[in-house]
């Protein structure tokens, strides 16, 4: 039941925003009593937190699976752009800002996901690419990993890319390819052209 509630809550949050969905809405949708709901979650803040934890755990698994499938670092990076397109609907920057403002515990989970898991994944990818001679060996891994992490945020920043003029998915993919190309060696470009066409 807990899992079912988390799933339904996540669906409603994406659709209507975190603020406007109440615990009443969720229990009504699931045809359960609020008492049942409170058996699993102490309050809305707790539910939002569980939704965020669940969401990022699923994302981590997804990223890790892609890593196993990937033939090389370039391929792994290109797969991310497939994922970006695939999950385009669930990329709601307003939702993130809502969470940042009103749900500090859930926000902390997001921050941790980004700073720990995403950052470590980027570093790992860059080192993999350098080892195989696909990325230049003179790049400063930590500087570029930080750049990548920050530009993922930048894409969602309404002040930099107003949503009425820029499509979020397009920006993310543009930035991802530009980031990747900026590191490629000649050998890397051969792989890039090959795998990019396969997508």
Candidates 30, 63, 95, 144: give the one binding a second copy (CB under 8 A): 144
**At closest approach, how far in Å is the CB of 99 from a second copy?**
20
Nearer to a second copy, 45 or 174 (CB): 174
Candidates 150, 163, 187, 194: give the one binding a second copy (CB under 8 A): 150
Nearer to a second copy, 68 or 143 (CB): 143
Three-class secondary structure assignment of the chain = CHHHHHHHHHHHHHHHCCCCCCHHHHHHHHCCCHHHHHHHCCCHHHHHHHHHHHHHHHHHHHHHHHHHHCCCHHHHHHHHHHHHHHCHHHCCHHHHHHHHHHCHHHHHHHHHHHHHHHHHHHHHHHHHHHHCCCECCCCCHHHHHHHHHHHHHHCCCCCCCCCCCCCHHHHHHHHHHHHHHCCECHHHHHHHHHHHHHC
Candidates 6, 48, 126, 175: give the one binding a second copy (CB under 8 A): 175
Number of residues that bind a second copy (CB under 8 A): 24
Candidates 143, 164, 197, 198: give the one binding a second copy (CB under 8 A): 143
């Amino acid at each position: 039941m807990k899992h079912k509630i988390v799933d339904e809550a996540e669906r409603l949050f994406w659709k209507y925003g975190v603020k406007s969905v109440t615990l009443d809405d969720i229990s009504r949708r699931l045809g359960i009593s609020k008492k049942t709901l409170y058996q699993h979650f102490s309050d809305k803040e707790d539910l939002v937190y569980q939704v965020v934890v669940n969401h990022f755990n699923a994302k981590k698994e997804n990223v890790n699976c892609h890593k196993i499938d990937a033939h090389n670092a370039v391929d792994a990076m290109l797969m991310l752009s497939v994922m970006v397109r695939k999950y385009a609907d669930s990329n709601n920057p307003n939702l993130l800002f809502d969470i940042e403002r009103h749900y500090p515990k859930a926000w902390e989970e997001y921050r941790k996901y980004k700073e720990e898991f995403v950052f470590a994944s980027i570093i790992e990818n860059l080192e993999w690419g350098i080892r195989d001679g696909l990325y230049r060996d003179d790049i400063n891994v930590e500087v570029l990993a930080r750049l990548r992490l920050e530009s993922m945020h930048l894409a969602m920043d309404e002040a930099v890319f107003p949503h009425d003029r820029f499509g979020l998915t397009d920006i993310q993919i543009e930035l991802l390819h530009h980031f990747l190309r900026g590191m490629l060696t000649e050998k890397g470009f051969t792989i890039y052209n090959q795998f990019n066409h396969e997508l």
